[in-house]
Structure 1
Amino acid sequence: MTLRLPDVRDLLPRRDDYDLRPRTMWADLVAGLTVGVVALPLALAFGVSSGVGPAAGLVTAVIAGVVAAVLGGSRFQVSGPTGAMAVVLAPIVAQHGLASVALVTVLGGVVVLVAGLLRLGRVVTFIPWPVVEGFTLGIAAIIFLQQVPATVGVDGAVGGNTLVTAVRSVGEAAARPGAAAWALAVVALVAALMLALPRLSAAVPASLVAVVVATVLAEATGAPLDRIGALPDSLPVPTLPTASASALGDLAGAALAVAALAAIESLLSARVAASMAPEGSVYQPDRELVGQGMASVASGLFGGMPATGAIARTAVNVRSGARTRLAAVVHGLVILGVIYLATGPVSRIPLTALAGVLMVTAFRMVGAGTVRAVLGSTRADAVTFVVTAVVTVAFDLIQAVQIGLVVAAFFALRHVARASSVHREPLPGPAEPGDERIALFRLDGSMFFGASERVLTEVTDASVRGDVAVVVLRLSQVGMVDATGARALAELVGALEREGITVLVKGVQGRHLRLLTMVGVLDRLRHERHQFDTLDDAVEHARSHVRRAAEGRDVPQLDGRR
């Protein structure tokens, strides 16, 4: 017996990932340059907001951006530090310290890599749209609230509850009106430029221009604002993070949270990119997980933070005319050039300028039209959306997704349960004497744990209260049966038979036969031949049974039936 390894060829890079024709390469170079310019201030900002530092944001954009582009499953995905990951990482840094980031990043990357090898990429399709949008809205709110301290010129508590920290920061700013005024002015300037410049020209990198203008003005006026500070002028040497048994135990939960978010956000971003591509595109979800896992591992080795696919930067990449994954590689190289050539000017950027960039980014993460669409769809979807968003802001991102899924599942099961019903039908053909003693029930929908008790009660009450001698159960319209539903049917048959009511079953589907047999539904029938394929046969046997009972005689066995 030989051990066969799984085929992973579809998870590896291929020659056709790239198109080396000059026209295509030029389009990719232009798109990559555009995305790199847009990504630079975001990489710095997300590094700062996560508590890891701007240098880690730059390293992540370079290393993870290139690795994910080469190994990932999307032609257009641009990866790097994101707001959602910064939100998850901030409390980890606050609780376990800055030294824990490298190990968490590598462990999270390994989990995502294994998920890809196990072919779990399609799992994201089971996340309902209201949960995704509620999650995104909650992240946007957290990103915005995280910037409030910098906006009013005070230091916020990294890792604390963002809403509480934001409120406290506003109170503290009242005692320092001078610093608050400078900070608010810079944030307002950056926001105004980011909102106004795209109206003048879509080709202008608004966030970069806004940061440059704010920095020049801050330097010219000598504004008392905190700056980014010293940055490395080269990439650090890769090193393995220290991994003791106690550290692995302490950080296992954090690594799983990071991995879950990285997988969900990356797959959603890749799906959005595929839908945005002008000529249509497909993505490979399992390969995308492998690429993102390797990207986070590489980022952790170089001192970066966990990476995910970035929806905003990916959208810019597609709209800028990218053709292949070469554009995402160029984006990483552009930021690498900044590290080697321009860390001096970058170090003078005011932190409040980055706060302004993130505030505008948070506003753009969820469109008003999307919110209206979700809230106006169904009450169940609206509740799921609101609950997911509130839990995201108030508690924890991963818990928010879990609770959102539970809420969505509850409403879905309730809908299926309500669609499952039982109807008493008239007997087919001309009425005959004794038909009033025959009850014909049609079961529709699904017999599962959410509906079985109600169906059981309705049939039992209608049968026992009347002068019913025979009950015919039509099961041909039952779409799904689980163990609970099958057990309820067995109890129904047993209860009616104990009341002296003969039960006939019609239309058991082949796919349900094994389960119904295993739980004893058919064994509880008075006779093994009380199972029928056609309604006419079942009703004829029921009438025969009633006629003989009216004559005061036992029903003899005819062809094995009673």
Structure 2
Amino acid sequence: MGKLGALLPSTVDYRALRTSWKSDVVAGITVGIVALPLALAFGVSSGVGAEAGLITAIVAGIVAAVFGGSNVQVSGPTGAMVVVLAPIVATHGAGSVLVVGILAGAILVVAGVLRLGRTVSYIPWPVIEGFTVGIGVIIFLQQVPSAVGVSGEGHHTNSIIAAIQSITEADPRKALYSVMVVIAVAVIMLVLSRLNGWIPASFIAIVAVSVVAALFRLPLETIGELPHSLPAPHLPELSLTLVYALIGPAFAVAALAAIESLLSARVAGSMADTGPFNADRELVGQGLASLASGVFGGMPATGAIARTAVNVRSGAKTRVAAIVHSLSLLAVVYLAATVVSHIPLAALAGVLMVTAGKMVSVATIKEVTKTSRPDAAVFILTIIVTVTFDLVIAVGIGIAAAAFFALRALSRASGIHRQELRGEPQPGDEKIALFRLEGSLFFGAAEGILERIERYEGIEVVILRLSQLQLVDATGARTLTELVNVLERKGITVLIKGIRKEHLRIFQRVGVVNSLRHVNHLFTELPPAVEHARSHVRRSTTGAMY
């Protein structure tokens, strides 16, 4: 019960509120201004509509703030989630997103209860950076239809092919106005961000372009009618067939939400002293947020790195800031829905294109590619798979590739070295082979060790020094057992010296110790092992029985 209690809200979450409430309120309003165009844009880009994006930012934002594991995390619709949801909408329809969100939310809650929050720390840095760059490329490509004034409906689910189709189908006159709007938004955002990083550049760009478009009555598609209140909560229709069809996408959404949210929370913790962070509670909070969002008609939510960073920089100390952010957006729904409905879709596309461009950091790309060839290969592979196939698959393949290169490096660092016998040379020493095994004895290195020892001829006794082994797995232990059996069948006596305490159990279970000819062939010190080997050679030379 104590462990489950750590996953639930408590008064400790708000103990700094007495001194920080003013800065929390200011930070929340600031993030709300930044989040408004992004929430609308992500909703449109995913195919479920601006309304769903706004609902997600409000409902999921509040729930994740209260139940999540970070004091300053801001949650809502994100670009990465859009990349996953767009193909789901194209295949199963917009209504399927509600079901996917509820299923993914349940999966995240279970993952949090099972204490799986820290597993994200095992994702290698090149995979994370490649994943981020790939998302940026996809988000940019997904905005091409709106940027050229073409509806994205009916286009291929692959963002590259869909972007090419949109360009070929575009009406030149309509496309000209849309492209001009995109360029205007991008210029305003880039100029304002250079002048002052605190200015809500995307909000100002949206307002400026929308006013100009309305005054000159430019032929641009707009967001359209938005609700003047939150819809009533309701459960979508569920059936076993539908759940079976969507359980795969739901796991993909849950995996992405976990990865992005935990990474975002960790980034926030590195930016400022924002209090303790509970990774497992964060999973529970994000799961409940997606569940609530789905019930109200929204999208699955994740922690948003950009909005969380704005929150921290604006002085947020407690969860109240994220709650105020959602309440600010709720005020927009009740007070300014009509005004927001006139925002051109091309303006939202411009905001997301600039956002996507910022995700592709040239400095980071140079840093990753210059570290080592394996890291560069993993980075590039993750980008390619992300853009051409699927985000979650890309993370899996990236981790697998990183693991392959890590194991190869570990295997190369492992080795077997023949050593000279200590002390004065004695007759018959040439028939004794002393080998030192070091590094790791695992499935990637074991086979090479077996081949190396079997090369030597004219050997009567082999001494294996194992005290320098750092890592041993079942395959490595099994290979060592096979090695001892092979040598013993050839009439070569095997002596083992220096099994480390932490390796003894696996060697006993796999049969390394039992494969020795005699229990006395196991030594803790080298001199007795060498003396035993020499006595064996002497007896063998004189024809004595051993």
Q: Is structure 2 residue 364 aligned with structure 1 residue 370?
A: yes
Partners of 1:113 and 1:293 within 8 A in 2: yes
Q: Is structure 2 residue 495 aligned with structure 1 residue 498?
A: no
TM-fit CA distance, 1:20: 6.1
TM-fit CA distance, 1:121: 0.4
TM-fit CA distance, 1:241: 1.5
Which residue identity is paired with 1:236? P
Corresponding residue to 1:549 among 518, 534, 540: 540
TM-fit CA distance, 1:437: 1.0
Which residue identity is paired with 1:221? F
Q: Is structure 2 residue 27 aligned with structure 1 residue 36?
A: no
Q: Is structure 2 residue 252 aligned with structure 1 residue 261?
A: no
Partner-residue secondary structure (3-state), 1:474: strand
TM-fit CA distance, 1:172: 2.2
Q: Which runs of 5+ in 1 are unaligned?
A: 556-562
Q: Is structure 2 residue 450 aligned with structure 1 residue 453?
A: no
Q: Give the Cα separation in 1 of the matches to 2:175 and 2:373.
A: 42
Q: Give the Cα separation in 1 of the matches to 2:473 and 2:341.
A: 62
TM-fit CA distance, 1:487: 1.4
Q: Give the Cα separation in 1 of the matches to 2:19 and 2:88.
A: 45
Aligned residue number for residue 484 of structure 1: 475
Aligned residue number for residue 162 of structure 1: 159
TM-fit CA distance, 1:518: 2.3
TM-fit CA distance, 1:551: 1.8
Q: Is structure 2 residue 412 aligned with structure 1 residue 418?
A: yes
Q: Give the Cα separation in 1 of the matches to 2:196 and 2:541.
A: 90
Q: Give the Cα separation in 2 of the matches to 1:524 and 1:362.
A: 61
TM-fit CA distance, 1:165: 1.1
Partners of 1:504 and 1:538 within 8 A in 2: yes
Q: Is structure 2 residue 122 aligned with structure 1 residue 94?
A: no
Partners of 1:317 and 1:327 within 8 A in 2: yes
Q: Is structure 2 residue 231 aligned with structure 1 residue 231?
A: no
Aligned residue number for residue 435 of structure 1: 429
Partners of 2:260 and 2:302 within 8 A in 1: yes
Instruction: Map 1:383-398; keep pairs closer than 5 Å.
Output: 383-398=377-392
Q: Give the Cα separation in 2 of the matches to 1:280 and 1:86.
A: 28
Q: Give the Cα separation in 1 of the matches to 2:3 and 2:494.
A: 53
Partner-residue secondary structure (3-state), 2:437: strand
Aligned residue number for residue 397 of structure 2: 403
Corresponding residue to 1:528 among 519, 533, 537: 519
Q: Is structure 2 residue 180 aligned with structure 1 residue 207?
A: no
Going from structure 1 to structure 2, the CA distance change for 1:21 and 1:501 (only over 3 Å counts) comes to: closer
Q: Give the Cα separation in 2 of the matches to 1:491 and 1:80.
A: 56
Q: Give the Cα separation in 2 of the matches to 1:389 and 1:528.
A: 55
Partner-residue secondary structure (3-state), 1:324: coil
Q: Give the Cα separation in 2 of the matches to 1:202 and 1:9.
A: 40
Which residue identity is paired with 1:381? D
TM-fit CA distance, 1:478: 1.2
Aligned residue number for residue 284 of structure 2: 290
Once the two structures are superposed, residues 61-93 of structure 1 have per-residue CA deviations (whole angstroms, 9 ceiling, x without a partner) of: 000001100110101100000001111111111
Going from structure 1 to structure 2, the CA distance change for 1:22 and 1:534 (only over 3 Å counts) comes to: closer
TM-fit CA distance, 1:21: 5.1
Partner-residue secondary structure (3-state), 1:357: helix
Once the two structures are superposed, residues 331-390 of structure 1 have per-residue CA deviations (whole angstroms, 9 ceiling, x without a partner) of: 000000000000111000000000000000001123211111111111111111111111
For this pair of structures, how many residues does the alignment match?
Answer: 545
Partner-residue secondary structure (3-state), 2:464: strand
Which residue identity is paired with 2:417? H
TM-fit CA distance, 1:318: 0.5
Which residue identity is paired with 2:367? A
TM-fit CA distance, 1:19: 4.2
Going from structure 1 to structure 2, the CA distance change for 1:407 and 1:247 (only over 3 Å counts) comes to: same
RMSD: 1.2
Partner-residue secondary structure (3-state), 2:514: helix
Q: Give the Cα separation in 1 of the matches to 2:280 and 2:505.
A: 35
Q: Percent identity?
A: 59
Partners of 1:82 and 1:307 within 8 A in 2: yes
Q: Which runs of 5+ in 2 are unaligned?
A: none
Q: Give the Cα separation in 2 of the matches to 1:280 and 1:249.
A: 41
Q: Give the Cα separation in 1 of the matches to 2:23 and 2:274.
A: 17
TM-fit CA distance, 1:511: 2.2
Partner-residue secondary structure (3-state), 1:240: coil
TM-fit CA distance, 1:545: 1.1
Aligned residue number for residue 342 of structure 1: 336
Aligned residue number for residue 558 of structure 1: none
TM-fit CA distance, 1:523: 2.1
Once the two structures are superposed, residues 487-537 of structure 1 have per-residue CA deviations (whole angstroms, 9 ceiling, x without a partner) of: 111111111111111111111122222222222222222211111110000
TM-fit CA distance, 1:7: 3.1
Partners of 2:16 and 2:317 within 8 A in 1: no
Once the two structures are superposed, residues 83-108 of structure 1 have per-residue CA deviations (whole angstroms, 9 ceiling, x without a partner) of: 01111111111111122111111111
Aligned residue number for residue 310 of structure 1: 304
Aligned residue number for residue 62 of structure 2: 66
Q: Give the Cα separation in 2 of the matches to 1:239 and 1:141.
A: 35
Aligned residue number for residue 505 of structure 2: 514
